[in-house]
């Protein structure tokens, strides 16, 4: 059984960087080369949210160390953000982040197209 847990731990360690960095990097390059702007928005939103998540982790590091499944929860969240079927990054950005940025005047309301 210990070999199984060691294997699972190894997969977990490799899955994080692959799902959080390698795949989004590849998909971002493909999106930049495609004529569609929809995929550009998805990946820009992903990088904004990933940056906010990383910054939050740095600030809350001592508290997050006490949550044993934090990394797994983060991995599940990132999978939802990157999946093309869910377009989670665009969803979170449009529903929550964009409104807060407009509220505090970080982005002007008239420069963005209405949706």
pLDDT in tens, 4-33: 767 767 777 788 888 899 999 999 999 999
Instruction: Give the integer Cα–Cα distance in Å for 109 and 92.
Output: 18
For the chain, the domains span 2-103
With the C-alpha atoms ordered 110, 54, 81, 30, is the resulting torsion angle positive or negative? Answer: positive
Give the alpha-carbon dihedral of 91, 14, 66, 79, to 10 degrees: 10
pTM comes to 0.81
pLDDT in tens, 75-109: 899 999 999 899 999 999 999 999 898 888 888 87
């Amino acid at each position: 059984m210990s070999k199984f847990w060691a294997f699972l731990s190894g997969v977990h360690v490799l899955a994080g960087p692959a799902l959080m960095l390698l795949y989004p990097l590849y998909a971002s390059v493909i999106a930049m080369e495609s004529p569609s702007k929809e995929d550009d928005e998805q990946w820009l939103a992903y990088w904004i949210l990933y940056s906010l998540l990383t910054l939050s982790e740095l600030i809350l590091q001592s508290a997050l160390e006490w949550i044993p499944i934090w990394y797994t929860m983060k991995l599940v969240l990132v999978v939802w953000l990157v999946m093309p079927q869910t377009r989670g990054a665009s969803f979170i950005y449009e529903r929550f982040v964009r409104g807060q940025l407009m509220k505090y005047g970080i982005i002007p309301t008239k420069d963005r197209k209405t949706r």
